């Protein structure tokens, strides 16, 4: 698949999920490098920068995307010839992809330990990292139930319930607004993350902040499953995480909107959960308090956002 096609699929949500888009971008850069030709290495690198920009411009929130692109692009920096640069990009991309998959699996093992027999676990959206915790707990023989939200307007909850069903995990599907109604049944909330700021604020699918608030009110543990490339190092230097606002047509059809010209439809797809509502963040290096976000950025400085 061409890099431009991958970029289009990320933009239109055919490829989605913070970790998945990061791996798809790394793969796209590697494939692009394979066939890209230029008169000299400087021109080749500049073409690669243009291609990277196309991927960076697809979705603004999930920091995994620029972090992945950065590690791949950085690998070609010292290359003196095109074949050398191509080789470096290929190695960096495949190493990012495999370490990303390993990170999800490692988080699954850690997260599974928090799920006990008889638990009811609530999850929101369709996070591979959060699902890894649930699937590993099931593989470990744990007997528990999941409550999954629908996740308007993209219905990512439908993907989640399919996966849970296929794994034989008993699941209840609820509408997004029913979380407070059901919270008394819930023992643990596990969600994923698109970006984590230096102060431990977690940006994730719209609705996550409300769920965290309700969990906090009911003293239900709230856990975020997030690989280290979900941490946003540029927040150290004051850059804020942008919340993507998508087309109103995803929420209300153009026909209905045309009849209601005074109604503005808003469609932010992420929100922010402050660290005070988060008990733990599970990374591939272990469980941390959200207040330790800086330590992850300091100890793993490979992830840097491109400007
Ligand atoms: P993993 C998704 O974003 C959701 O917000 C999900 O919680 C998050 O990425 C993390 O997913 P979207 O692409 O990386 O559906 O854990 O907007 O799979």
Domain range annotation of the chain: 3-105, 107-303
* Whether the predicted pLDDT of 147 surpasses 50: yes
Distances (CA, A) of 117 to 138, 141, 145: 10, 9, 9
**Degrees to nearest 5, angle at CA 229 with 122 and 224:** 20
Question: Which ligand 1 atom is the nearest neighbour of the CA of 131?
Answer: 16
Question: Which ligand 1 atom is the nearest neighbour of the CA of 225?
Answer: 16
**Cβ 192 under 6 angstroms from ligand 1:** yes
pTM of the model: 0.95
What is the side-by-side order of every strand in the sheet holding 145-149?
171-174, 145-149, 120-123, 188-191, 221-225, 280-283, 286-288
Question: CATH 3.40.50.10470: does it fit domain 107-303?
Answer: yes
Q: What is the mean pLDDT of the chain?
A: 96
Concerning whether 194 is annotated as a catalytic residue, the answer is yes
Question: Which ligand 1 atom is the nearest neighbour of the CA of 226?
Answer: 16
**Degrees to nearest 5, angle at CA 66 with 157 and 194:** 25
**Cβ 196 under 6 angstroms from ligand 1:** no
Rounded to whole angstroms, how far apart are CA atoms 243 and 246?
A: 10
**Cβ 19 under 6 angstroms from ligand 1:** yes
What is the side-by-side order of every strand in the sheet holding 202-205?
195-196, 202-205, 270-273
* Whether the predicted pLDDT of 13 surpasses 80: yes
Task: Return the pLDDT at 53.
Answer: 98
Which residue has the least CA distance to atom 11 on ligand 1? 127
Q: How confident is the model at residue 280 (pLDDT cuts 50, 70, 90)?
A: very high
Q: How confident is the model at residue 307 (pLDDT cuts 50, 70, 90)?
A: very low
Q: How confident is the model at residue 304 (pLDDT cuts 50, 70, 90)?
A: low
Backbone angles phi, psi at 212, to 5 degrees: -65, -40
Rounded to whole angstroms, how far apart are CA atoms 243 and 146?
A: 28
* Whether the predicted pLDDT of 305 surpasses 80: no
User: Distance, CA 203 to ligand 1 centroid (Å)?
Assistant: 10
Select from 146, 205, 217 the least CA-distant residue to 180.
Answer: 217
Concerning whether 271 is annotated as a catalytic residue, the answer is no
Q: Which of 15, 148, 202, 205 to mutate to test the pocket of ligand 1 (most atoms within 8 A of CB)?
A: 205
User: Distance, CA 148 to ligand 1 centroid (Å)?
Assistant: 14
**Average of per-residue pLDDT across 97-115:** 97
Four-way CATH pick for 3-105: 2.40.50.140, 1.20.120.420, 1.10.150.120, 3.90.1170.50: 1.20.120.420
Tens of pLDDT, residue by residue over 156-204, are: 999 999 999 999 999 999 999 999 999 999 999 999 999 999 999 999 9
**Average of per-residue pLDDT across 24-41:** 97
Fold match between domain 3-105 and domain 107-303: no
pLDDT above 70 coverage of the chain, percent: 98
**Cβ 205 under 6 angstroms from ligand 1:** yes
* Whether the predicted pLDDT of 273 surpasses 60: yes
């Amino acid at each position: 698949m061409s890099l431009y096609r991958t970029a289009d699929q990320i933009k239109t949500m055919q490829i989605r999920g913070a970790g998945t888009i990061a791996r798809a971008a790394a793969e796209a850069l590697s494939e692009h490098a394979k066939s890209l030709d230029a008169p000299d290495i400087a021109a080749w690198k500049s073409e690669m920068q243009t291609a990277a920009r196309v991927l960076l411009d697809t979705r603004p929130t999930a920091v995994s995307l620029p972090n992945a692109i950065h590690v791949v692009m950085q690998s070609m920096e010292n290359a003196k010839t095109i074949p050398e640069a191509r080789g470096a990009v290929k190695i960096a991309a495949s190493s990012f992809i495999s370490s990303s998959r390993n990170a999800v699996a490692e988080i699954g093992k850690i997260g599974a330990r928090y799920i006990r027999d008889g638990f009811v676990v609530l999850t929101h959206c369709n996070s591979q990292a959060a699902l890894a915790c649930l699937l590993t707990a099931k593989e470990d023989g744990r007997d528990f139930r999941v409550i999954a939200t629908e996740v308007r307007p993209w219905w990512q909850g439908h993907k989640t319930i399919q996966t849970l069903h296929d794994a034989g995990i008993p699941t209840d599907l609820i509408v997004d607004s029913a979380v407070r109604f059901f919270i008394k049944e819930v023992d643990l909330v596990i969600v994923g993350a698109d970006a984590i700021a230096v102060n431990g604020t977690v940006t994730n699918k719209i609705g996550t902040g409300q769920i965290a608030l309700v969990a906090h009110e009911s003293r239900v543990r709230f856990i975020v499953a997030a690989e280290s490339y979900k941490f946003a190092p540029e927040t150290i230097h004051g850059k804020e995480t942008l919340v993507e606002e998508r087309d109103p047509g995803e929420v209300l059809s153009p026909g209905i909107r045309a009849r209601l010209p005074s109604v503005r439809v808003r469609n932010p797809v992420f929100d922010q959960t402050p660290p005070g509502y988060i008990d733990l963040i599970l990374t591939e290096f272990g469980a941390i308090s959200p207040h330790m976000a800086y330590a992850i950025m300091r100890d793993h400085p490979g992830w840097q956002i491109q400007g």
